[in-house]
Structure 1
Amino acid sequence: MNCLSWNCRGLGSLRAVRLFGDLLKSRNPDFVFLSETLVETKVIKKLSEKFGFFDYFAIDKVGRGGGLAIMWKRTIDCRVVNHSINYIDVHIMNRSNVDWRLTCFYGLPERNRRHDSWNLIRSLVKHDNIMWCIYGDFNNMLFVTDKSGSHGHPQSLLDGFKAAIEDSSLVELDLTGVNSHHDPILLELFNSEFSRKQFRFKFENTWLHEPSFREEVSNQWKEIPRMHLLPKLMSISSFMAKWGRNFFHKFRDKVKKQKAILNELIDRSDEEGVRCYFGERRKLEELLLHEEQYWKQRAKAFWLTEGDTNSKFFHATTSKRKKSNFISHLVNNENEIISSHDDMCREAVEYFKSVFTGANSSSVNVDDEVDRVISDAQNEKAYI
């Protein structure tokens, strides 16, 4: 999911609309926040429809200035929680069930009103467990280096904004390539669309045998912007899963190359050739051992302390487990076949409700009832 913030400084001209369209085409954001639109709500409605956004929310300009707007695509489940002429507060529900809060903020530009902006930030803090991100154009700076030009920025304003950030328990995200507060800001959410059905991360022990694994994971962890632990773990899990897929393909290539090297050395009878042959064979044996560990973990054959280097057994065990754990359809009491995932879930819930909440359930022996449920489940296995 990508969220774009842009201080457009007016959307009332054809030139500004073209710039906006080009920005959307190049960045393809799922959510857009616009500040200083300088237009009325009806203009935002037309733009939202023109550029294919599912819905929008806008705040009219005040006099000759101001105006805020947000737009989002159909893939985003967004709800506006609160708003004013300086911010729009939304609650975003993800498919991964990791809900979060986004505050689209536009700070007061007048220096003598900066205190009002700082206090507004403090007032937006909510003491709950939901993740919160606030972004936009604050019309403030944290460091002297944030300002270009020969004129300095008053230290009192730097300290005041910094105090507001610290009082709100906020942490500044790392920015890349932003030179001006009027440049668009693209907020990228790492792996925000995960769900159990879409992504199940499994760590492979054999990865640890690859010398570059720890270093690459460590570097990736450092590159991820500061955020809450859960999304950071989800992001690094995605990286390791992708790394693992590439590693497995490269791993098979290594085995093939190692066998080819042995084939070239097998006919040599000189001392150097024999030494090289046994050295390369040890490398092949190590690769095959890693492959065995890979399939052993996937097959969950923990009872086997030593396996043969031929991995057919582990392939077969893994395939058998996958086949036996997969339910393709169920048959209900009316002998109707149910194959939809959601329908099967509902049928299972209703079945066990009828078992344990029936009219005579209180008089049924629990052990006998459990045995009957297990027996019924085994009978239904004929339809797997």
Structure 2
Amino acid sequence: MNFLSWNCRGLGNSRAVRVLRDLVKTRKPDFIFLSETLVSSIKISELCLSLGFVHNFAVDCVGRGGGLAVMCKNTVVCNIGSSSLNHIDVEILRDTVPHWRLMCFYGMPERDHIRESWDFIRHLSSISSLPWCIVGDFNDMLFPSDKKGKHNHPQFLMHGFREAIVDSKLVEIDLSGGHFTWEKGKVYSDHDPIQLELCNSNLSKKEFRFKFENTWFHESSFRDEVNQYWDSLSRLQLMPKLISMSSYMAKWGRNFFHKFRDKLCKQREIVNALAEKTDEESIKNYFLEKDKLHELLLHEESYWKQRAKTFWLAEGDANSKFFHAYASARRKTNFISKLRVDGGDFVTKEEDMHRVVLDYFQTVFGE
């Protein structure tokens, strides 16, 4: 099952509707949440049918702003709970996994009301004991790295939003694809869609666990940035503080790895360019830049060495390819492609493997 969330900035715009049709065609979502529809529920019902969705629920826009809508296919069985100008609470019902809540959320865009958004998230977390996921447009950000531009987002706003997330027992989900989901200046919508894909139905997928990378210590700014963030969480209790800290370092590490790869490529280009020159200054710079490249290669080796969980080779051996291959091999062996049942036959379908595992543990704990 896959869920799509998009701030469409007005479905009265024919271009936005065409983009939505293309998203449905290419992403094939089972469920769509749309914010800032700027249209009535009647328009949403018409659009729902034309897109091939069966059920819909909408919160009408007020004046020239707002409007929320959800659409789903028969593959999704759900109940609509509470709703407002800023949220639609959806309970997802499925036989193969426990029931859970998908909170479709649109944060108040006015900075004067931002604290109301934080308190509203806390309230939404308390109205049900079901596991929940909140998706949509918060009109807010957790970290400075979530924004790229000349004007920095105020620290007190990020701190307040982080406190609301921790109080609500939420953890940020890893984002793959583009790093930024909002870009100023587009015509029909300045937001990219966000796709949420359920992977807990696949036994071969492992849940995210925070892992500290030794190679982070090679970045000079790491300690200062981590200390600064830790100090900003001084008002939190220890466990929420550790959860928020691990989330921050995980995001920092993803950015670092991408920057590191770019840095390594650029350093190779510099060394290769200097290698073709014969003047005295270029030769001197060649050896200096080559030393920098060697240092980066040592950092790369350290990264793959930790991931491979192989420690019998000494630091300094140029075996990055070996470590990379070893880490990839470990990832492949962690994939469950089939299971043997009591009769000796193998099952390969996900639902059949779910049944085999469930029956096995029910028998074990039943006895």
What residue number does 1:187 align with?
Answer: 196
Post-superposition Cα deviations, 1:2-49, rounded to whole Å, max 9, x if no partner, equal: 000000000002211111101111100000000000000000000100
What residue number does 2:102 align with?
Answer: 102
How many angstroms does 1:98 deviate by?
Answer: 1.6
**Do 2:97 and 2:201's aligned partners in 1 also have CA atoms closer than 8 Å?**
no
1:144 aligns with 2:144: yes
Q: CA 1:217/1:142 → structure 2, altered by over 3 Å: closer, same or farther? A: farther
Distance 1:92 1:123 in 2: 20
Distance 1:164 1:75 in 2: 33
Q: CA 1:124/1:43 → structure 2, altered by over 3 Å: closer, same or farther? A: same
After TM superposition, the structure 1 = structure 2 runs for residues 39-118 of structure 1, keeping only pairs within 5 Å, are 39-118=39-118
Q: How many residues align?
A: 218
Distance 2:117 2:164 in 1: 9
Aligned-pair identity in percent equals 50
What residue number does 1:157 align with?
Answer: 157
Distance 1:189 1:86 in 2: 24
Name the SS of the counterpart of 1:82 in structure 2: strand
After TM superposition, the structure 1 = structure 2 runs for residues 17-56 of structure 1, keeping only pairs within 5 Å, are 17-56=17-56
Name the SS of the counterpart of 1:45 in structure 2: helix
Distance 1:114 1:193 in 2: 38
Q: CA 1:14/1:115 → structure 2, altered by over 3 Å: closer, same or farther? A: same
Q: CA 1:318/1:140 → structure 2, altered by over 3 Å: closer, same or farther? A: closer
Paired amino acid for 2:181: S
What residue number does 2:321 align with?
Answer: none
After TM superposition, the structure 1 = structure 2 runs for residues 1-384 of structure 1, keeping only pairs within 5 Å, are 1-126=1-126, 129-178=129-178, 179-181=180-182, 182-192=191-201, 219=331, 240-242=335-337, 244=338, 318=344
How many angstroms does 1:161 deviate by?
Answer: 0.4
The list of structure 1 runs, each at least 4 consecutive aligned residues, that deviate by more than 2 angstroms after superposition, is 126-130, 191-194, 212-220
How many angstroms does 1:176 deviate by?
Answer: 1.4
Runs of 5+ consecutive residues of structure 2 not aligned to the other structure: 183-190, 204-323, 348-367
Q: CA 1:218/1:136 → structure 2, altered by over 3 Å: closer, same or farther? A: farther
How many angstroms does 1:127 deviate by?
Answer: 7.0
How many angstroms does 1:125 deviate by?
Answer: 1.0
What residue number does 2:241 align with?
Answer: none
Q: Which of the pair has the greater relative contact order for Cα pairs under 8 Å at 6+ separation?
A: 2
Distance 2:171 2:97 in 1: 23
How many angstroms does 1:192 deviate by?
Answer: 3.6
Distance 2:158 2:341 in 1: 59
Tell me the TM-score normalised to structure 1 length.
0.52
**Do 1:103 and 1:135's aligned partners in 2 also have CA atoms closer than 8 Å?**
yes
Post-superposition Cα deviations, 1:232-260, rounded to whole Å, max 9, x if no partner, equal: xxxx9xx7332x58xxxxxxxxxxxxxxx
Distance 2:25 2:153 in 1: 36
Distance 1:75 1:28 in 2: 12
Distance 2:341 2:6 in 1: 51
Paired amino acid for 1:240: F
Tell me the TM-score normalised to structure 2 length.
0.55
Q: CA 1:119/1:20 → structure 2, altered by over 3 Å: closer, same or farther? A: same
Distance 1:150 1:299 in 2: 60
**Do 1:94 and 1:193's aligned partners in 2 also have CA atoms closer than 8 Å?**
no
Distance 1:40 1:218 in 2: 52
Pair member with larger Rg: 1
Name the SS of the counterpart of 1:241 in structure 2: coil
